[in-house]
Amino acid sequence: MNNEFIDDEKNELDYAEITEIFENFFTSSYESKLLEYSEELGCALVDYEELDKFDTRVAELLLDKPDELIALAENALSNHPLLGDRNLRIRFTNLPESIKVEIRNIRSAHLHKFIVVDGIIKQASEVRPEIIQAIFECSVCGNKIAVAQTKDTLKKPAVCPACGNKKGFEIIERKMRDVQRIEVEELPEELGEDPQPRKIGVFLRDDLVDPKFQKKIIPGRKIRIYGILKDMSLPKVKGETKRRDIYIEANYVESIEKEFEEVELTEDDLEKIQDLAKDPEIYNKLVKSIAPSIYGYETIKLAIALQLFGGVRKVRKDGVVTRGDIHILLVGDPGAGKSQILKYVANLAPKARYVVGKSASGAGLTATVVRDEFVRGWALEAGALVLANKGIACIDELDKMGKEDRSAMHEVMEQQTVTVSKANVQATLHAQTTILGAANPKYGRFDPYAASLAEQIDLPETLLSRFDLIFPIVDRPDKDRDLKLVKHILKMHEEPEETEPAIDPDLFRKYISYARKHIKPKMTKQAEKMIEEFYVGLRNKYNQQGEVKAVPITTRQLEAIIRLAEASAKVRLSEKVTKRDVNRAINLIKEFMQTLGYDPETGVFDIDRIETGTTTSQRNKMMLLLKLIEDMEKRLPEGMVPIEEIVEVAKQHGMDDVEKLLAKLEKMGDIYQPRHGYVKKV
């Protein structure tokens, strides 16, 4: 090795001196810490600040030439009297702020330097072995030749140094180590205005892939990486190109899960937040602070405001968890402003992301297993809902999400986890994520009366029932509203400042995080009584209608009311949920039930219609129809009933929408068509 480090007179240091400084450092007062870490972590962890105090020049040099300095330090450590033969890797923590860089700002100037990057793990591959050194035997003289392996392809000796032979070398020994590749994305809370997060590949080797370390390396977790920026040839490009791909060779990784939960607040911020919370007009102000450029939709905006504050997550002693997140779905006509609202919320809320359901990006919404071309194994990739853990995911075009997401969504919305079990990869990822979804009707336009909501959205009914609130957005011509809408849009174009939000978005963001973090409201007696009365009252009213006893309101709505009421209390930074909060929640639920769950045939609320896509009177008819089919089957030779005949018979029983009912029975699996035009009971 030659000495490269003569920068100026003061900094003159050669390899021997650096090694000596490290040797002294390792036997200094840091020694006991070092031994402790080597036991606990399986590596020699060095606190940079300690090294800096010990020798500033070496500490500075380390940031500039980490590869060389770490090699020298490891060399120095290998001579340590108390560590015996153990070949420990040296890892650094607590590196200075000055070398911290955002993923989007990483440039070629950072190459081969120590950098610190914070991010969220998007993808993590399997751990695979790689050869770092191969020993070959010469087929002519039997000489053994060691070749270091640094490239993707295996390097053989060009010539045998003993006999000059140039071919027929055979591998007799391999020195291996383990490697894992992860992909890290910018933290959602640090994205700012640009919703598109950047990512970078990171390689973890040796003890960084030990099982105990792997607990940190789970997609969706937030980490701080201390590493060295490296370059390599672009994958998939044959031959030499000038362009290079960059990655981080991790020296050390730390979990930063806790540190970022809170947005920093100044005294001034806190005062402003408390003023807002006391303002009697606060709920109106909230409404006026959500997508102010979109006219109307006050109820929806209020619901979204409460969603941002959220209910209280409850964990019972037996481990049963009730989510605090309020899920909202907007269904409606195209061009009604849904996407605009979602994008606005994604920008406004802390830790939010906007994604499109049919996103081509692979991982989709939940999680998926993909091939990793670098380690030639599988990699687990977290989708948007995992990456938005403890935040809000605004999912546009939810109806167009992939098949796998569809089934995984049930688990996400209730248990708030994603379980993956595919190709070697088994994992359960956290997804405590609030969902604000938007969907277009299946047949282009939304029709609130033609059929149940479930039939008009291309989403499973079981999934729909997991939303606390579903709002239809119907774009019907309405002279009065249209005029106001036009005026609103015109005004927005003329005087954009007139549609400024009532609460400054930055303050709003802080307000939300403060309330979410510190306020856990509890029900007052009166509030509980009010919910009880509403719930029992509605169920009783329905039972009096006779017919099949359907359940007009289920525990799901009950929980939704509680969550919304809690959110309403959080707005006031109040620890108590009052009757007014409950009233606000009940009004939202009523509105939701009226527009979607109202049974037009009997005139009563029927939440069953949302939960199963069938109204009670419809179900009664279906049961009758099924009975008729059964009777007819018995009379017909092959037990197949011509549809024409059923329609005829059903008419005599006063039914006219028989085809629709038959289609429904078929969909529900009660009947099938053995031949076109015929049905049979299953």
Concatenated DSSP letters of 636-652 = STTS-EEHHHHHHHHHH
337 binds, among Mg ion, ligand ADP, none (CB under 5 to 8 A by kind): ligand ADP
Q: Is the dihedral of CA 7, 10, 12, 17 positive or negative?
A: negative
Among residue numbers 329 through 348, which ones bind Mg ion (CB under 5 A)? 339
Q: Where are the beta strands (DSSP E) in 30-105?
A: 44-47, 90-93
Closest CB 337 distance from ligand ADP, rounded Å: 3
Report residue 396: phi and psi, to 5°: -90, 150
Which one, 491 or 653, has the nearer CB to ligand ADP? 491
Q: Which residues bind ligand ADP (CB under 6 A)?
A: 294-296, 334-340, 485, 488-489
336 binds, among ligand ADP, Mg ion, none (CB under 5 to 8 A by kind): ligand ADP
How distant is the alpha carbon of residue 486 from its chain centre? Answer: 37
Closest CB 363 distance from Mg ion, rounded Å: 21
Among residue numbers 198 through 227, which ones bind Mg ion (CB under 5 A)? none
Closest CB 470 distance from ligand ADP, rounded Å: 15
Contact 394, 304 (CB under 8 A): no
485 binds, among Mg ion, ligand ADP, none (CB under 5 to 8 A by kind): ligand ADP
Closest CB 456 distance from Mg ion, rounded Å: 16
94 binds Mg ion (CB under 5 A): no
Task: Output the CA angle 15-20-25, nearest 5 degrees.
Answer: 125
User: Which residues contact residue 55 at a Cβ distance below 8 angstroms, ignoring those fewer than 6 apart?
Assistant: 21, 25
209 binds, among Mg ion, ligand ADP, none (CB under 5 to 8 A by kind): none
Which one, 111 or 485, has the nearer CB to ligand ADP? 485
296 binds, among Mg ion, ligand ADP, none (CB under 5 to 8 A by kind): ligand ADP
Closest CB 385 distance from ligand ADP, rounded Å: 20
Closest CB 669 distance from Mg ion, rounded Å: 33
295 binds, among ligand ADP, Mg ion, none (CB under 5 to 8 A by kind): ligand ADP
Which one, 339 or 602, has the nearer CB to Mg ion? 339
Closest among 176, 172, 166 to 146, alpha carbons compared = 172
Query: What would you report as the CA-atom Rg of the chain, rounded to the nearest whole angstrom?
Result: 32
Closest CB 486 distance from ligand ADP, rounded Å: 9
Judged by CB under 5 A, how many residues of this single chain contact Mg ion?
1
Distances (CA, A) of 335 to 247, 301, 331, 386, 674: 42, 17, 12, 29, 42
340 binds, among ligand ADP, Mg ion, none (CB under 5 to 8 A by kind): ligand ADP
Closest CB 608 distance from ligand ADP, rounded Å: 28
335 binds, among ligand ADP, Mg ion, none (CB under 5 to 8 A by kind): ligand ADP
Instruction: Specify the DSSP element, H or E, that contains 66.
Output: helix 66-78
Instruction: Specify the DSSP element, H or E, that contains 70.
Output: helix 66-78
Tokens linked to 129: 């072995």
Cβ-closest residue to Mg ion?
339
Contact 387, 381 (CB under 8 A): no
Q: Is 592 exposed, middle or buried (0-12, 13-18, 19+ CB in 10 A)?
A: buried
Q: What residues line the site for Mg ion (CB under 5 A)?
A: 339
